Structure 1
C-alpha cells in the first residue's frame, strides 16, 4: 500500500491503483427494496424466518433473538423480500446513531441465502452492476456515514427514524470496481478474524459457565496436594467467611473514583467518560483497596453483580457499594460463588420497582462453602479461565480498533 493526500483519493491505498475516485450519491449506486409488513396472524414457530429491525446486530443478524417465522409454502409469495448473499440491509428506525448496537441507519452485509425475509422499516440493497456491496458496507460502517446519520435522524433517543430520500442522498466517493473488490476482500479478511475471536471468546465463556456448574454443585471436586479428599462443604452464612471494610475517603480525589457494574470494576472516567461525579464530590466515599469486593446494593431486576478490585490501585466508590473481603479464604472464590448464585441472592433483596440488598442481609444468606484450601484451588482454576478470556478479548478489541482505523484511511 502507499499513502496519498490527493483530494478524492484515500489516505491508504493499494499500490496497484491510482487516479481519483468518483463522487456520487448512495442512490446512484444502489437498487433498494423496502421490507414488507408481515401480519402477526401469519407468524409460526418454524418455517422461513422473518428478519425484524430488532434482529439486526452491529454487523450481522442475531441468532439469540426470539425468532418469528412464516410457513415455507406462504414464503414463496414473498420472494422479492428474501435476503440473498451480497445484499445489504439498512434500518430506517432505531435509536439515535450514537447507540451503535441499535442505531437507526445501521447496516449489515448478508453472508448467505438462508437468513430469511425482510420485515418493514428496513431496506434491502441488491447487487448492482459495477458496484461491490462489500465496498458499500465499508462506507456504511465509517465514521463519516455515522456523522451523516446524526444529521438526518429525527425523533428521540430510543425512537429515531430516517427517510429513504435523505438516506439515498448520502454523498460518497467510489473507485472503479476492481479497487472496490480489493478493498472489500481485505475488509472481509479482517471481519473473519473478528468473527473467529468472537466465537473463541463465546466458547471459553460457555466452558467456564459449565465448569462453574460442575464445581459449585460439587460434581467436580479438587483433591489435596497429597491426593486425599478435601472435607465436605459446610453450609454457612456468608458472614462467617467475609468481613466488611469501612474506611472512608477523607478528602476529595484522595483516590481514583471507581464504578462497579455488570461489565466489571473500572475507573468512573472509563465508564462515564469523565473522572468526576457531576452532582457531588467524593468526600466520604467507601475506600476499596486491591483484592476487595464490592457490589451495587440497589437493583432494577433483583440481580446483583459482585466485582473484585484487580485494577492494581486503591480506589473510592459510592456508599451505595459495600466493600468487603474474605476473612481466611479466597476473595476470588467468594466473588465467583456470589455471581454464580445471582438468582438465589436476588430473592433476599427488598423493595418493589428498585430492590435493595444491604450488606447485613447479604451476610445472613446461607451457602455451601468448602475449606479455604479448596476455595483457593477453585479460584485459581477459574482465574486461569478468566485470563484466557481476557486475552482473547484483548485480541478482539485490538482487531476491532485496527478495523476502525482502516475504515478511516481506506475511504475518502
Structure 2
C-alpha cells in the first residue's frame, strides 16, 4: 500500500482513492443525551420503555436489563428517545468512551444524561462506532473531555471530532467485516459463560454427592466421611515480605489476589492452595511450584493425605467470603473455617473429581485465549483501518 494522505494501511483491494476528512457533527442529524426522570429510581419498573444507562453500553453492545420507565414519562422525554441504528456513546464517568450501535429491530428506548445519542444522516453507524472504539477515536474522546476531573464530553466536542471516511459502499464493507469479528467474540464469550455455568452446576452436584464417580471396574467408592476442615487442609497465615527486601527471582510471591511478583527465595514447597486472608476473600489459587505466600493470604501445603487439586476445588466451592470477620476491611477468620464440617471422599475419588474439573478448566482457558486473541486481532484491525 502506498503511503498516501487519508488512505488506511489496511484496505479491501477493490477500493482506492483517499478518504474524506469531515467533522462528525456534519454527518449527524442529532447529537444529544437524556436525563434522569423526575423521581429517579422510584419511577423505574420491570416493564415499559427500556431506560438505557452507561452500564448498558459495554463491549460494543447494548446489553439491556429490566430497567424501564412508563410510557407517560417517555412521552415527556421525546428528545432522548433512542431508535435502531443510533450510536450510543458514554460521555461521563469511568466508562467514558464506551460505545455501541443500537441493533436493527430495536423498537424504542430512552436514555439518561450519561449516554449520548449520535444519529447519522446517511453514513454507516457501525463504521462510525468502530472508529470511536479505535485507538484514534479514543484519543479524540480523551482530548475532548472537559471539567476539573476531565471525565466528561460535551456535545460541542463530539461534533468537532474529525473523521476520515470513505464512500458508503466501503463503509458498509468495513462494517460487515468488523461485525463478523464482533459476532465471533460474542459467540466465544457465550461459550465461556456456558462452560462456567456447566462447571458451577457440576461442582454443586459433586459436592452434594448427587454425582458420584466409580472405580475402573465400575464398583462404588465408600461413603464420604464427615471431617472438620482443620483435619483436612488447615490454613496457615502467610509471611511478610518487606518492600525493601524484594529482589527479583524465580519464585512467585502469592498475594490475596494472585501472583504479583517473583522473589529470589521461597517459603513453601509445592503444591499449594492460596486464598485471600484480607481484601480479596474467596479468590482461591492453585500453585504447583515453590512459592512465597504473602501475609495478605492464607495457604495450605499440609493436605493430610488428601489430593491437593481436590482441596483447591473444595475451597473454591466453599464460598469463603461467608467467613468474613472484618467490619470495614474484609478479613477471613480461619478458625471459623477450620471448625466447618465437610463430607470428604477417599483420595482415589478425590483424584477423579479433580481431573474431571481440571479438564473443564482447560476448556475454559482455551476459550479465554481465543477471546483474547480475537480481541487483539480486532484491536490491530481498527488501528490499521483508522490510523
Q: For this structure pair, what is the TM-score category when the shorter chain's length is used for normalisation?
A: 0.7 to 0.9
Gaps of 5+ in 2: none
Deviation at 1:149, TM superposition (A): 2.4
Q: Within 2, Cα distance between the matches of 1:261 and 1:251?
A: 17
Say if 2:31 and 2:159, in contact at 8 Å, map to a contact too: no
Answering whether residue 363 of structure 2 is matched by residue 388 of structure 1, we say yes
Q: Deviations over 1:91-131 (max 9, x none)?
A: 22121xxxxxx2x13211112314732222222122322x1
What is the DSSP-based 3-state SS (H/G/I as helix, E as strand, rest coil) of the residue aligned with 2:305?
A: coil
Equivalent residue, structure 2, for 1:238: 229
Q: Deviations over 1:55-77 (max 9, x none)?
A: 221311234x5x32123566466
The within-5 A match list for 1:324-339 is 324-325=300-301, 326-339=303-316
What is the DSSP-based 3-state SS (H/G/I as helix, E as strand, rest coil) of the residue aligned with 2:7?
A: coil
Q: Within 1, Cα distance between the matches of 2:267 and 2:88?
A: 49
Q: Structure 1 pair 245/81, CA: closer, same or farther in 2 (3 Å)?
A: closer
Q: Structure 1 pair 407/179, CA: closer, same or farther in 2 (3 Å)?
A: same
Q: Within 2, Cα distance between the matches of 1:292 and 1:115?
A: 54
Q: TM-score, normalised by structure 1?
A: 0.83
Deviation at 1:84, TM superposition (A): 2.8
Q: Within 1, Cα distance between the matches of 2:134 and 2:315?
A: 41
Q: Structure 1 pair 12/352, CA: closer, same or farther in 2 (3 Å)?
A: same
Equivalent residue, structure 1, for 2:17: 19
Equivalent residue, structure 2, for 1:110: 102
What is the DSSP-based 3-state SS (H/G/I as helix, E as strand, rest coil) of the residue aligned with 2:16?
A: coil
Gaps of 5+ in 1: 96-101, 269-274, 277-281
Deviation at 1:199, TM superposition (A): 0.6
Equivalent residue, structure 1, for 2:112: 119
Equivalent residue, structure 1, for 2:82: 83
Say if 2:306 and 2:347, in contact at 8 Å, map to a contact too: yes
Q: Deviations over 1:15-40 (max 9, x none)?
A: 11111111122212223242332233
The within-5 A match list for 1:195-274 is 195-242=186-233, 252-260=247-255, 265-266=258-259, 268=260
Question: How many residues align structurally?
Answer: 378
Equivalent residue, structure 2, for 1:365: 340
Equivalent residue, structure 2, for 1:55: 56
What is the DSSP-based 3-state SS (H/G/I as helix, E as strand, rest coil) of the residue aligned with 1:363?
A: helix
Equivalent residue, structure 1, for 2:139: 147
What is the DSSP-based 3-state SS (H/G/I as helix, E as strand, rest coil) of the residue aligned with 1:294?
A: strand
Q: Deviations over 1:166-204 (max 9, x none)?
A: 122122211111111111111011011011101111111
Deviation at 1:247, TM superposition (A): 9.8
Deviation at 1:261, TM superposition (A): 5.7
Q: TM-score, normalised by structure 2?
A: 0.87
Answering whether residue 155 of structure 2 is matched by residue 160 of structure 1, we say no
Equivalent residue, structure 2, for 1:297: 277
Q: Within 2, Cα distance between the matches of 1:246 and 1:35?
A: 52
- Counterpart of 1:181 (choices 152, 172, 196) is 172
Equivalent residue, structure 2, for 1:99: none
Q: Deviations over 1:124-143 (max 9, x none)?
A: 122322x1111101111111
Say if 1:255 and 1:315, in contact at 8 Å, map to a contact too: no
- Counterpart of 1:307 (choices 256, 276, 285) is 285
Equivalent residue, structure 2, for 1:401: 376
Q: Within 2, Cα distance between the matches of 1:375 and 1:25?
A: 64
- 220-229 vs 138-147, which moves further: 220-229
Equivalent residue, structure 2, for 1:128: 121
What is the DSSP-based 3-state SS (H/G/I as helix, E as strand, rest coil) of the residue aligned with 2:117?
A: strand
